[in-house]
Amino acid sequence: MPLIVQKYGGTSVGSVERIMAVAKKVILAKSQGNDIVVVVSAMSGETNRLVSLAKEISDPPNAREFDVLLSTGEQVTISLLSMAIAAQGCPACSYTGGQVRILTDNVHNKARIVDIDDQKIHGDLSQGKVVVVAGFQGVDDNGNITTLGRGGSDTTAVALAAALKADECQIYTDVDGVYTTDPRVVSDARRLEQICFEEMLEMASLGSKVLQIRAVEFASKYNVPLRVLSSFEDGPGTLITIENKKMEKALISGIAFSRDEAKLTLLGVEDRPGIAAHILAPISEANVEVDMIIQNKGVDNTTDFTFTVHRNDYLKALDVLNELTKDLGVREVIGDERIVKISLVGVGMRSHAGIASTMFKALADEGINIQMISTSEIKISVVVNEKYLELGVRTLHSVFGLEEA
Ligand code: ASP
Ligand code: MG
């Protein structure tokens, strides 16, 4: 019998009514001749509520106790969903992460899955039961409850699908698939039938929030076919798999963007070996993640060094740089918090030249100045002033013909 792992996010199980609706969907899939394992998130808003409760007591909360607390959100939804499935006539059984034995490392609040015991689950499935598993949590080898980081239920679902060798991992959410870009920015954005792991990874890391990045990495590593679907409407969703023939036709699959960017520039940096490391080491020690980096030699034998960071880390990074300048002989440190990143993504880019120039010309025609550029085999990203985000994304979406057919 085909085995499907379905994952329902917080809004999909946000009320008793919705949980009953999910139960109906689960039973339908089972009646079509599949074994079903369901992974659920906490009811929408619940994890945030628990986070604030903890922070009222201590901030940051004790990491171990925080995991004990956060894991309760999912314990509520697994039990309610199992009851709902049973109430509609199908046997079901729920497990917390620790009960399945989803074994993780002992890094509280962002644990990684090490091993999954599939025995209980297979046993229940063979008795005709639906198995409901709590997302986002596991247990370390000392029996401590761990959690996988926000959005971690996606990862639980994919990891279970890999461990159980499921035929498909279906992620039910409040959108009906992966779109060419955010439909809130471009109203004629189109749902993609298929996209490959590599593209989805780029889209996710460039700001598309449909799936947790780690879940996509996991699915790619273990080659688990992933499907993103709506829990509220019927439809095929978007299938995410390894690259195949059908996909090669599309030059560009999507346009991702991120509003949470800021850039920092050191002007007049000495030009000698070791400088880049010298600048970035204290930045990473301060736990600031750096994205794009550009260094360019100026006329006077000094260089200008620019990099981007998450906007939340801007002030922290600026402090680090201002400290640094004292012993680096930098002329000036400047920064800009009003930038965004727009990226074209597509595996079709690999075999086509001229995409960058088309992109740059389209932006120029709208009077949009490009401040930074970075490329990979399947992506071109530009940094522009934040006021051009909507215009830039819309322009590129139409220039590359991504709208509804
Ligand atoms: N409930 C957790 C969160 O809100 C995990 C998840 O929903 O995936 O982050
Ligand atoms: Mg989620």
pLDDT along the chain (405 residues), means of 10: 97 97 97 98 98 96 98 98 98 98 96 96 98 98 97 96 97 92 94 94 81 91 95 94 73 93 93 91 94 87 93 95 84 94 93 91 98 94 97 97 83
Q: Tell which one of 78, 109, 136 to mutate to probe ligand 1, the residue whose CB is within 8 A of the most ligand atoms.
A: 136
Closest CA to 78 of 146, 2, 164, 157: 157
- Ligand 1 mean position, distance from CA 317 (Å): 29
Q: Considering every ligand atom, which ligand is closest to the CA of 174?
A: 2
- Give the C-alpha distances (Å, rounded to integers) separating 400 from 166, 177, 178: 36, 20, 17
Q: What residue owns the CA closest to ligand 1's atom 4?
A: 47
Q: 3-174 with 255-399: one CATH topology?
A: no
3-174 is classed CATH 3.40.50.300: no
pLDDT at position 250: 72
Residue 339: CB within 6 Å of ligand 1? no
pLDDT one-digit tens code per residue, 41-76: 999 999 999 999 999 999 999 999 999 999 999 999
- Ligand 2 mean position, distance from CA 216 (Å): 13
The model carries a pTM of 0.87
pLDDT one-digit tens code per residue, 317-354: 999 999 888 777 788 999 999 999 999 999 989 888 89
Domain boundaries, the chain: 3-174, 255-399
Residue 97: CB within 6 Å of ligand 1? no
pLDDT one-digit tens code per residue, 123-169: 999 999 999 999 999 999 999 999 999 999 999 999 999 999 999 99
- In sequence order, which residues have a C-beta less than 8 Å from that of residue 319 and are 6 or more positions away? none
Return the CATH architecture of domain 255-399. Answer: 2-Layer Sandwich (3.30)
